[in-house]
Structure 1
Amino acid sequence: MSRLRIIAAFAAVACATALAVVLPTSATATSSVSAAACDYPSWVAGRNYVTGNIVKYTDGKFYIAEHDNPGYDPIISTWFWDPFACDGGGNTPTCDYPNWVAGRNYVTGNIVKYTDGKYYIAEHDNPGYDPIISTWFWDPFTCGGGTTPPPIPGGFVVSEAQFNQMFPGRNSFYTYSGLTAALSAYPAFANSGSDTVKKQEAAAFLANVNHETGGLVHIVEQNQANYPHYCDTSQSYGCPAGQAAYYGRGPIQLSWNFNYKAAGDALGINLLGDPWQVERNASVAWKTGLWYWNTQSGPGTMTPHNAMVNGAGFGETIRSINGSLECGGRNPAQVQSRVDAYNRFVGILGTSAGNNLYC
């Protein structure tokens, strides 16, 4: 598996403003909850719950935590729990859910109001992950008017069935939903030009990803001996996560502290301080790959996105990702591996490969 190496400092990357954390406030809107929304977890004695958590008690009824508590009994501790109407009967549920707080522990079934004013329900326990980014941990929750995020303009030219066909042996970490959730960060990706160009760009990105990860199998760089080598101590911000923390991760195998800093700043995620997000959150992983693809030229002369949109061809995407190690006859077998995957993927998408496949 090839590893992304970038040996020059990047130009300044525009920083995306991180989402603000708002202290809990009360909402006044009310709504009913559909029967489909009654899929809440069973109450567990001694388990930590936070305000807004909804549970199914042993009597088959539902209760909502009015205050944080360490697993108190909903029948006995009525100051901590209120009955929650679900699928008819009881109190009318309201949208009085607490605001999401970054870094706060949440458990499955917890409902929060995000900074965009919409509601999200925790599908899995998590230590305060961002509901917009961590889509495996959170789902939109309808409360007092829709919460479903707007679709990606024009949709995505690769269907889930085609994605699965491209990567039949992929690691379950690399989800299709994680990829599509990440697309909103760079809406021009695979969404510029003709239908042919859109499909070619999607195929080109996924072909390079295929090569970097061994068919979407590897989440992290396999040679652990390299891990301590990716800390550029000349950078003013240093390596706060540790000297050996910035090894290759994700679909493009992001490495080096300055790459994590630049990608994190662009995406509004603290990747310099917590690079492990790239290996534990599929959407974040895909976003780092799209960040590189759409904004960085690496050892090449243009971004891979521009190479495909402007007709420079697939070969220029190779040059921008690993050209200093592969192009110009340095490693033709690696180049051929990428080209073979690209040809296979455009075939799956039903389009042509275009010109200039090699670098």
Structure 2
Amino acid sequence: MRILALISLSLLSILGALAQNEQCGSQAGGIVCPGGLCCSKWGFCGTTLDHCGDGCQSNCNTGGGGSPNTPSPTPSGGGGDISSLISKAVFENMLKHRNDANCEGGFYTYEAFIAAAKAFGDFGTTGDDDTKKREIAAFLAQTSHETTAGTAIGSDLLANPDLVATDATISFKTAFWFWMTPQSRKPSSHDVITGRWTPSEADSAAGRVPGYGVITNIINGGFECGKGSATEQDYRNKQEDRIGFYKHYSDILGVGYGNNLDCYNQKNFNE
């Protein structure tokens, strides 16, 4: 199923390189962890004693404090119940192919989606209703996950990698973690779509302007962005698919798309 193909075991190998990219603090340009997570002295977000104890750089008294072996889910920030914005019927209309032969039948359920969203309380609860709906549409079009998701969501994915394939809530949580968490040099997708991100002078010079296109840049900019009309057709097709999904979901939710939907003329964040 192409719509949620980015939540897949093909990315589990990345988990083996846990914490290679600093996320916060002096190692990441002063970024503060989302959701009240502590920033460790090494520049990583989490809620364990290693994150919130000696050398902690920010949020040190708000990050929870579970033991190193039992990290807690990212604390909720705004209540986190988005069921009033996207009903089960709408969800199943948006992901109507989730039961086809290419997917585990019924794996990505509405109930799992809502449960995972509640662990990231700012998701779908920031801004006015149009902003909230636009974030849901963008997330479902761009769903992905990254390196240290297992630590942030309170699950040992390195010891139990099958959780992503067998637990739908964990699968969605990995995607929400990536969506909500700034990476080195990059804002979070959440901050972009909700208007919290303000481009720096370097961003502006690189053509990175607020809009859905920057989210594609965050996720796969090295391949899909910054090549203008010379972008390889395969990657142009992928970006057009992302935009197509976003427009389709936005139409279902009855919300406008906003500006700057592509990143063809944006330099990627690593340049």
| Shorter-normalised TM range | 0.5 to 0.7
The runs of at least 4 consecutive aligned structure 1 residues that moved more than 3 Å come to 1-8, 151-156
CA contact (8 A) 2:94 2:249 kept: yes
Q: Closer, same or farther in 2 for the Cα pair 1:315/1:163, shift >3 Å?
A: same
CA contact (8 A) 1:156 1:180 kept: no
2:240 corresponds in structure 1 to 336
Q: How far off its partner does 1:9 sit?
A: 2.6
1:307 corresponds in structure 2 to 192
Unaligned residue ranges in structure 1 (runs of 5+): 19-129, 134-150, 210-251
Mapped to 2, the partners of 1:159 and 1:153 lie a distance apart of: 11
Question: SS in structure 2 opposite 1:205?
Answer: helix
Mapped to 2, the partners of 1:201 and 1:333 lie a distance apart of: 22
2:44 corresponds in structure 1 to 13
CA contact (8 A) 2:21 2:183 kept: no
Which of the pair has the greater relative contact order for Cα pairs under 8 Å at 6+ separation? Answer: 2
More helix by share: 2
1:285 corresponds in structure 2 to 171
Q: Figure out how many residues of one structure are paired with residues of the other and give that number.
A: 181
Q: Closer, same or farther in 2 for the Cα pair 1:308/1:176, shift >3 Å?
A: same
CA contact (8 A) 2:123 2:180 kept: yes
2:115 corresponds in structure 1 to 181
Mapped to 2, the partners of 1:301 and 1:266 lie a distance apart of: 18
Mapped to 2, the partners of 1:205 and 1:342 lie a distance apart of: 8
User: Would you say 1:319 and 2:205 are equivalent positions?
Assistant: no
1:276 corresponds in structure 2 to 162
Question: SS in structure 1 opposite 2:45?
Answer: coil
CA contact (8 A) 1:16 1:268 kept: no
Q: How far off its partner does 1:154 sit?
A: 6.0
CA contact (8 A) 2:135 2:190 kept: yes
Q: How far off its partner does 1:297 sit?
A: 3.7
Deviations 1:244-272 (A, max 9, x none): xxxxxxxx2x46xxx1xx21111111112
2:89 is matched with which residue: 154, 157, 161? 161
Q: How far off its partner does 1:156 sit?
A: 4.8
CA contact (8 A) 1:326 1:335 kept: yes
**TM-score of the aligned structures, taking structure 2 as reference length:** 0.60
Mapped to 1, the partners of 2:96 and 2:82 lie a distance apart of: 26
User: Would you say 1:348 and 2:252 are equivalent positions?
Assistant: yes
Q: What amino acid maps onto 2:168 in structure 1?
A: A
1:205-244 counterparts in 2 under 5 A?
205-209=139-143
CA contact (8 A) 2:80 2:120 kept: no
**TM-score of the aligned structures, taking structure 1 as reference length:** 0.46
Q: How far off its partner does 1:167 sit?
A: 1.2
Deviations 1:170-197 (A, max 9, x none): 0411111001000122110111001110
Identity of aligned residues (%): 33
Q: Closer, same or farther in 2 for the Cα pair 1:297/1:192, shift >3 Å?
A: same
Q: What amino acid maps onto 1:160 in structure 2?
A: K
CA contact (8 A) 1:156 1:191 kept: no
Q: Closer, same or farther in 2 for the Cα pair 1:156/1:17, shift >3 Å?
A: farther
Q: How far off its partner does 1:13 sit?
A: 2.9
2:58 corresponds in structure 1 to none
Q: Closer, same or farther in 2 for the Cα pair 1:179/1:17, shift >3 Å?
A: farther
More strand by share: 1
CA contact (8 A) 1:339 1:357 kept: yes
Q: How far off its partner does 1:308 sit?
A: 0.2
Q: How far off its partner does 1:207 sit?
A: 1.0
1:103-182 counterparts in 2 under 5 A?
152-153=80-81, 155-170=83-98, 171=103, 172-182=106-116
